[in-house]
Amino acid sequence: MSSIKERVFVTAATGNIGTGVVRGLVKQGIDTTAYVRDEQKVKDLFKKELTTGHLKLVVGSYSSIDVFTKAIKGHTRLFLLVAAHGLKPWSMSQIKGALGRIAFEQGVRQIVDLSSAFVSSYGKKGIIGYVHTAAEEKLWALADENPEQRSLVVLRPGAFMTNHFRGDIHTIKHQNKIASCASPSSKSTWIDTKDISDCAAVVLSESVEKHDRNVYELGGETLTEEQRAAVFSKVLGKSIKYEQQSMEDFYKASISHGLPHSFVYHFALMASKDICDNPTPEIALIIGRPLRTLKDWVNENVKAFQ
Ligand SMILES: NC(=O)c1ccc[n+]([C@@H]2O[C@H](COP(=O)([O-])OP(=O)(O)OC[C@H]3O[C@@H](n4cnc5c(N)ncnc54)[C@H](OP(=O)(O)O)[C@@H]3O)[C@@H](O)[C@H]2O)c1
């Protein structure tokens, strides 16, 4: 880091990625502020980090703008992640635009934004592509208002391996199968959220100039649906089959579970097109190790699937 006293502000600090970012920064002795909704949850999550003197907590949400404005003062970097769940299609760009503007105006020099590989591969096609593309556009425009002072780095990850905890975990555990409407040979590129956190922590701890205006796509491993099922079979030591549902059955079942049309339509769209065009082994140049495979991830989480 530079001679300026750096202080990093981390939003969504209790999430999959935010937790790893906080731990990665505190481990390097970097003063870090975790922006959280539930103080008690954080005290359990960051027991060790809180003893170091490098971690401070601020309780607030995306909508508590006054809290954010006061708290961001004195910080030089911002990790910006907005959870898409339950938001209106236009909310993510509004929230990121508002928090990003306040952060830059209060003296933050670098924002590291968590976006999605959909922005590269789909643009605004599909609702997830739309929300992230619209949010990125706001942030790029903000950075370009004062390019000398404002740096932006965008991370665009592929499909999270943690998505297996949402739906697939139930069919893997109880029916020995993974079911979706994609063809068995359809490919997806998966990423371990640890790799995303590590990449963010490196960018937030190195010089602002080094990473300025880079877009880092992150894809660990591209697998067909059949290969994905085979990874689970191998690690769990039992046969997990891939079952292709009709698009109509997939749509009806997802809607009956309460998912909104736009998301289900988007997932149907993904059945024939990968989120990330290719894996991105070049990320090893930043994080200093190869990206993790799905086998690594299932091995680490094996108990949850038994
Ligand atoms: N899943 C994928 O395959 C995929 C792929 C590419 C990009 N993405 C993007 O990745 C992001 C999700 O990352 P993740 O998995 O780390 O998220 P996550 O584990 O679901 O965590 C969400 C975090 O956001 C916080 N949060 C939720 N609502 C909030 C609010 N109103 N105000 C303040 N904080 C709030 C949560 O706090 P609490 O702990 O208090 O709930 C939690 O810390 C989304 O932007 C998604 O679009 C996902």
pTM > 0.95: yes or no: yes
Q: Is residue 230 part of a domain?
A: no
What pLDDT is attached to residue 3?
64
Task: Scan for tokens 């070049």, then name that residue.
Answer: 282
What pLDDT is attached to residue 262?
93
Q: Which atom of ligand 1 is nearest to the CA of 163?
A: 1
Band of residue 270 on the pLDDT scale cut at 50, 70, 90: confident
| Cβ(219) – ligand 1 distance below 6 Å | no
| Cβ(298) – ligand 1 distance below 6 Å | no
Domains in the chain, number: 1
Looking at the DSSP assignment, which residues form a beta bridge with residue 261? none
Strand-strand pairing, 187-191 and 110-114 = unpaired
Determine the average pLDDT of the residues in 101-123.
Answer: 96
Looking at the DSSP assignment, which residues form a beta bridge with residue 191? 160
3-state SS, the chain, equals CCCCCCEEEECCCCCHHHHHHHHHHHHCCCEEEEEECCHHHHHHHCHHHHCCCCEEEEECCCCCHHHHHHHHCCCCEEEECCCCCCCCCCHHHHHHHHHHHHHHHCCCCEEEEECCCHHHHCCCCCHHHHHHHHHHHHHHHHHHHCCCCCEEEEEEECEEHHHHHCCHHHHHHHHCEEEECCCCCCEEEEECHHHHHHHHHHHHHCCHHHHCCCEEEECCEEEEHHHHHHHHHHHHCCCCEEEECCHHHHHHHHHHCCCCHHHHHHHHHHCCCCCCCCCCHHHHHHHCCCCCCHHHHHHHCHHHHC
Question: Please, are residues 214 and 231 in contact by the beta-carbon 8 Å criterion?
Answer: no
Q: Is residue 226 part of a domain?
A: no
Give the Cα separation of 306 and 304 in Å (integer): 6
| Cβ(38) – ligand 1 distance below 6 Å | yes
> Which residues 6+ apart lie within 8 Å of 39 measured at CB?
57, 59
What pLDDT is attached to residue 273?
80
Instruction: Tell me which residue range forms the domain holding 137.
Output: 7-158+192-219+278-284
Question: Please, are residues 45 and 19 in contact by the beta-carbon 8 Å criterion?
Answer: yes
Q: Is residue 256 part of a domain?
A: no
Q: Is residue 241 part of a domain?
A: no
Bigger pLDDT: 2 or 269? 269
CA of 50 to the centre of ligand 1 (A): 22
Q: Is residue 20 part of a domain?
A: yes
| Cβ(59) – ligand 1 distance below 6 Å | no
Looking at the DSSP assignment, which residues form a beta bridge with residue 157? 218
What pLDDT is attached to residue 69?
98
Question: Please, are residues 181 and 246 in contact by the beta-carbon 8 Å criterion?
Answer: yes
| Cβ(16) – ligand 1 distance below 6 Å | yes
Closest-CA residue, ligand 1 atom 24, reads 12
Give the Cα separation of 182 and 97 in Å (integer): 35
Pick from 269, 276, 117, 126: which is nearest to 187 by CA? 276
Ligand 1: residue of 16, 78, 94 to mutate (most ligand atoms within 8 A of CB) is 16
Q: Is residue 115 part of a domain?
A: yes
| Cβ(37) – ligand 1 distance below 6 Å | yes
Give pLDDT tens digits for 284-302: 999 999 999 999 999 999 9
Band of residue 272 on the pLDDT scale cut at 50, 70, 90: confident
Domain harbouring 30, CATH code: 3.40.50.720
Question: Please, are residues 165 and 304 in contact by the beta-carbon 8 Å criterion?
Answer: yes
Give the Cα separation of 43 and 140 in Å (integer): 35
At residue 212, does pLDDT exceed 90?
yes
Give pLDDT tens digits for 132-155: 999 999 999 999 999 999 999 999
Q: What are phi and psi of 5, to 5 degrees?
A: -70, 110
Strand-strand pairing, 221-224 and 187-191 = antiparallel
Q: Is residue 204 part of a domain?
A: yes
Q: Which atom of ligand 1 is nearest to the CA of 162?
A: 1
Question: Please, are residues 180 and 244 in contact by the beta-carbon 8 Å criterion?
Answer: yes
Band of residue 2 on the pLDDT scale cut at 50, 70, 90: low
Residue type, 14: T
Tokens coding 120:
């590269």
Question: Please, are residues 275 and 188 in contact by the beta-carbon 8 Å criterion?
Answer: yes
Which strands sit side by side in the sheet containing 31-36, from one edge to the other? Answer: 55-59, 31-36, 7-10, 77-80, 110-114, 151-157, 215-218
Give pLDDT tens digits for 167-182: 899 999 999 999 999 9
Q: Which atom of ligand 1 is nearest to the CA of 62?
A: 32
What pLDDT is attached to residue 207?
97
Q: Is residue 164 part of a domain?
A: no
Band of residue 277 on the pLDDT scale cut at 50, 70, 90: confident
What pLDDT is attached to residue 228?
98
